Amino acid sequence: MNERQHLPHLHDMSEEELVGHIPSVETIAAVSEAMKQLGDPSRLRIFWLLCHAEECVQNIASAMDMSSPAVSHHLRLLKSAGLIVSNRKGKEMFYRAADTDLVASLHHGIEQIASISCMD
Amino acid sequence: MNERQHLPHLHDMSEEELVGHIPSVETIAAVSEAMKQLGDPSRLRIFWLLCHAEECVQNIASAMDMSSPAVSHHLRLLKSAGLIVSNRKGKEMFYRAADTDLVASLHHGIEQIASISCMD
DNA sequence: ATAACGATTAAACAATCGTTTAATTGAACT
DNA sequence: AGTTCAATTAAACGATTGTTTAATCGTTAT
């Protein structure tokens, strides 16, 4: 049971061809989760910043013109998603982009899309 | 007025260096808007499908195991974001990924992230 | 210890979002 | 014209999200 129904209509592409290799739900979940985090302008800017520098919360807040609780909240989400890492230096907590293939790919994609979308 | 304050702390990187070339709000908005649309699993799957095939609403709904109103709703959002296009053939409305650099870049990024995140 | 500073957490709020059901529009047939 | 099928729209609902304010936790220094 729980078998998918056949396609209502068949056009150019066969059902097998169309539905055959949709990415798994796990893959879709992983990709959309990463995209979701960067779908918020505040988090995208923070992530972009942390791809270029390691900074403490206050400086991030200042650069982004946000309150530190707000920044902290976004940092927690980015960290939960594995996009950034933190390490404490004295009483300050420093954040930077994680050194992973996923982050490298996202960073590259963002810069490419940015260069397409606009001109800075 | 409306001048940004100086950074609370200065570390390795100068303020100029850190804040100097943050992408413009327009660029950030454009990128995050695209990411936001693909941050929903349903829309990501639909977008992925439409990168590989042109299909009508019912077939998309069937392949995604969703109702057609739900699919229609997501299609409208994806279309508003310029990620997909539509054309009518008889009484069916066909959708496919838009033929733009932005879409190509997103598609490439998604496949790359998918190959990193998991193995289908 | 205690004071000062940085960061996080908690609670509350408005706002946005995704899904469902039902009603409506649009196009192609008899 | 009227019927049928596909797609969209509308309204309603619960769930999630982002931001703010205030309170709390951790670390350093006096």
Looking at the DSSP assignment, which residues form a beta bridge with residue A87? Answer: A94
Q: Is residue A102 part of a domain?
A: yes
pLDDT of residue A76: 97
Q: Is residue B20 part of a domain?
A: no
A68-77, B5-14, B36-45, B83-92: segment of lowest average pLDDT: B5-14
Q: What residue of A is the nearest CA neighbor of B34?
A: A39
Q: What is the largest CA-CA distance in chain A?
A: 64
CATH for A31 = 1.10.10.10
Looking at the DSSP assignment, which residues form a beta bridge with residue B87? Answer: B94
pLDDT tens-digit series, residues B79-102: 999 999 999 999 999 999 999 988
Domain that holds residue B61: 41-117
Q: Kindly tell me if the per-residue pLDDT of A107 is higher than 80.
A: yes
Q: Kindly tell me if the per-residue pLDDT of B15 is higher than 70.
A: no
Q: How many domains does chain A have?
A: 1
Q: Kindly tell me if the per-residue pLDDT of B108 is higher than 50.
A: yes
Distance to chain A for B69, nearest Cα, Å: 16
Q: Kindly tell me if the per-residue pLDDT of A16 is higher than 80.
A: no
Q: Is the CB of B42 under 7 A from strand C?
A: yes
Q: Is residue B70 part of a domain?
A: yes
Q: Kindly tell me if the per-residue pLDDT of B10 is higher than 70.
A: no
Q: Higher-confidence residue: A18 or B27?
A: B27
C1' (C22) to CA (B76) span, angstroms: 20
C1' (C13) to CA (A65) span, angstroms: 22
> What's the average model confidence in pLDDT over B28-40?
93
Q: Does B116 touch chain A (CB under 8 A)?
A: yes
Q: Which residues of A touch B32 (CB under 8 A)?
A: 38-41, 44
Q: Is residue A6 part of a domain?
A: no
Q: In this structure, which long-range contacts are made by residues A38-42, counting pairs with CB atoms below 8 Å and at least 24 apart in sequence?
A: A38/A83, A38/A106, A38/A110, A38/B31, A38/B32, A38/B35, A38/B39, A39/B32, A39/B33, A39/B35, A39/B36, A39/B37, A39/B38, A39/B39, A40/A74, A40/B32, A40/B36, A41/B25, A41/B28, A41/B29, A41/B32, A42/A66, A42/A70, A42/A74
Instruction: Answer yes or no: do A41 and B28 touch at CB < 8 A.
Output: yes
Q: Is residue B3 part of a domain?
A: no
Looking at every residue in chain A, the average pLDDT score rounds to 87
Q: Is residue A42 part of a domain?
A: yes
Q: Is the CB of B20 under 7 A from strand C?
A: no
Q: Is residue A98 part of a domain?
A: yes
Q: Is residue B90 part of a domain?
A: yes
Q: Is the CB of A60 under 7 A from strand D?
A: no
Confidence of residue A2 (pLDDT cuts 50, 70, 90): very low
Give me the residues of B, 65-104, that contact A with CB < 8 A: 65, 92, 101-102
